[in-house]
């Protein structure tokens, strides 16, 4: 595997860490900036909305650039955003800094995955893309718990300073080892936009969004839940986040196998199980061992859906692969924002932190409905093609 792939993986690690690390530091940020937990949760929603809105905009803005130059530009934006986060002492300033950081996210992963596949022979393309996204997995396993521990000891701004350094290293790596001019072909944006009229694609994107909302309604407020309900120490929260990261990794592997077996059945089953394990957190959260087991299973089930959701969008978006991939990342992050908002609304309404898992369970059930619509449209599309051929 080319060295450039390792640089892309390092970039993915940095981007994933800066997105998710604030979840473990939510109580610290709220206390430092003198805001409520739901208000601090909007820092996660703001980032997610920045990705959702910025992904297609940045994809269009960088479409005319060589891909190496586009990646350098996007990583430069990422570094600036993290530096601003690292010096923020005001809630509004931090919100703006998070949104600036988010602008690079969707387009970087979209362009980066195409570049990763172009660096290797045909029979290694899937492995190359998987290696790049390993950085995102490691961000959950290592970056988030280590960043949380660092932030608890040295202040919540410190992880963003470290991530900015990782960003600089990634920028240097992209400049030095990424082949230049390997793909000067321009993206046919007009042709891809025409293909986005497919109703099945939007049903698949809606499924992604609702799944992500179900996951992040709980994930956003897991640190406050562990602190206030389970009464875990900051160190205990860090170890729990590490455990969750392991669950996400195991689930991602299992989910790929399940999606290969039967996509529709696998996703429907996963959403139903997610609704159950999310809701059960409501009753296990006061007890340490039960909630640790529960959260590991919840994390495993959550990420078991990710490979299948990607395939689900690819089925409908095969005629517009670049925009479909970018929009799917946007859908994930729009769901992140929706989930954080739902969780925060539940808390603000006076139902308390223990009601958040129940809200997450309800969102998982709505994802089941969206998945059924997506499957129905897929069957109709296959039937229409069969009639046309006949």
C-alpha to C-alpha distances, 303 to 42, 211, 310, 346, nearest whole angstrom: 23, 10, 12, 24
- What is the pLDDT, as a whole number, of residue 388? 41
Residue 123 confidence (pLDDT) above 90 = no
What is the pLDDT averaged over residues 70-86? 95
pLDDT tens digits, one per residue of 13-35: 999 999 889 888 888 999 999 99
DSSP 322-334: HHHHHHHHHHHHH
Residue 321 has pLDDT above 50, yes or no: yes
Reported as a single tens digit per residue, the pLDDT across 343-375 is 999 998 999 999 999 999 999 999 988 888 877
Where is pLDDT greater, at 359 or 253?
A: 359
Q: Which of 365, 265, 250 is nearest to 308 (CA)?
A: 265
CA gap 9, 80 in Å, rounded = 20
**Distance of alpha carbon 61 from its chain centroid, rounded?**
22
Tell me the pLDDT tens digit for each residue of 127-143. 676 678 778 778 878 88
Question: Average pLDDT in the 37-52 region?
Answer: 87
Helices marked H in the chain: 3-24, 26-33, 37-61, 67-87, 91-102, 105-118, 125-138, 144-154, 158-177, 189-195, 199-219, 222-228, 234-261, 263-284, 288-304, 306-316, 321-348, 356-389
The owner of tokens 């969206």 is 370
CB 48 within 8 Å of CB 340:
yes
What is the percent of the chain with per-residue pLDDT over 70, rounded to a whole number? 87
Banded pLDDT at 97 (limits 50, 70, 90): very high
In this structure, whether the domain defined by 1-186 belongs to CATH 3.20.20.190 is answered with no
pLDDT > 80? residue 182: no
C-alpha distances in Å from residue 4, one per residue of 1, 8, 115, 175: 8, 6, 9, 10
**CATH 1.20.1250.20: which residues of the chain?**
1-186, 188-390
pLDDT interval class at 252 (50, 70, 90)? confident
Residue 188: what pLDDT? 57
Give me the DSSP letters along 222-257. Answer: HHHHHHHTS---HHHHHHHHHHHHHHHHHHHHHHHH
Query: Which one-letter DSSP state was computed for residue 350?
Result: T
Q: Given this model, what pLDDT does residue 378 score?
A: 64
Of 134-143, 158-167, 185-194, 294-303, highest mean pLDDT:
158-167
Question: What is the average per-residue pLDDT within 274-297?
Answer: 95
Q: What are the tens digits of pLDDT across the range 221-239? A: 998 999 999 999 888 988 8
Q: Output the CA torsion 343→348→352→355 (10° steps).
A: -30
Whether 103 shows a pLDDT value over 60: the answer reads: yes
DSSP label at residue 187:
P
Mean pLDDT of 99-105: 91
For residue 279, pLDDT beyond 90: yes
- Judged against a pLDDT cut of 70, whether residue 317 lies above it is answered with no
Identify the pLDDT of residue 390: 42
In the DSSP assignment, the letter for residue 353 is G
Q: How confident is the model at residue 382 (pLDDT cuts 50, 70, 90)?
A: very low
Pick the CATH number of 188-390 from 1.10.10.10, 3.30.428.10, 1.20.1250.20, 3.40.50.2300: 1.20.1250.20
Q: Which of 255, 298, 253, 249 is nearest to 135 (CA)?
A: 249
DSSP states of 60-97: HHTTTS-HHHHHHHHHHHHHHHHHHHHH--SHHHHHHH
d(CA 145, CA 140): 8
């Amino acid at each position: 595997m080319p060295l450039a792939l390792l640089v892309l993986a390092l970039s993915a690690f940095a981007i994933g860490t800066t997105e998710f690390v604030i979840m473990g530091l939510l109580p610290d940020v709220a206390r430092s900036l003198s805001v409520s937990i739901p208000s601090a949760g909007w820092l996660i929603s703001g980032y997610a909305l920045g990705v959702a809105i910025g992904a297609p905009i940045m994809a269009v803005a960088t479409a005319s650039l060589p891909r190496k130059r586009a990646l350098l530009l996007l990583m430069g934006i990422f570094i600036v955003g993290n530096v601003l986060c690292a010096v923020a002492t005001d809630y509004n300033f931090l919100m703006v800094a998070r949104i600036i950081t988010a602008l690079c996210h969707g387009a970087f992963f979209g362009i980066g995955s195409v570049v990763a596949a172009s660096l290797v022979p045909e029979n290694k393309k899937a492995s190359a893309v998987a290696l790049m996204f390993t950085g995102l997995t490691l961000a959950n396993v290592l970056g988030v718990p280590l960043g949380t521990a660092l932030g608890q000891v040295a202040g919540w701004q410190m992880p963003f300073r470290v991530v900015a350094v990782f960003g600089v290293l990634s920028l240097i790596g992209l400049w030095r080892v990424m082949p230049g001019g390997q793909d000067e072909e321009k993206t046919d944006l007009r042709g891809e936009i025409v293909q986005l009229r497919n109703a099945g694609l939007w049903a698949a994107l809606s499924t992604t969004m609702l799944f992500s909302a179900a996951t992040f309604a709980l994930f956003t407020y897991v640190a406050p839940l562990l602190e206030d309900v389970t009464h875990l120490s900051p160190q205990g929260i860090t170890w729990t986040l590490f455990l969750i990261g392991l669950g996400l990794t195991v689930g991602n592997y299992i989910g790929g196998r399940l999606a290969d077996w039967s996509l529709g059945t696998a996703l429907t089953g996963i959403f139903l199980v997610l609704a159950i394990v999310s809701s059960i957190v409501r009753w296990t959260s006061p007890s340490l061992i039960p909630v640790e087991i529960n959260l590991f299973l919840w994390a495993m089930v959550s990420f078991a859906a990710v490979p299948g959701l990607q395939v689900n969008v690819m089925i409908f978006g095969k005629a517009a692969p670049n925009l479909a991939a970018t929009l799917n990342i946007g859908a994930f992050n729009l769901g992140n924002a929706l989930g954080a908002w739902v969780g925060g609304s539940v808390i603000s309404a006076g139902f308390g932190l223990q009601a958040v898992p129940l809200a997450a369970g309800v969102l998982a059930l709505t994802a089941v409905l969206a998945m059924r619509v997506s499957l129905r449209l897929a069957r109709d599309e296959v039937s229409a093609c069969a009639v046309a051929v006949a």
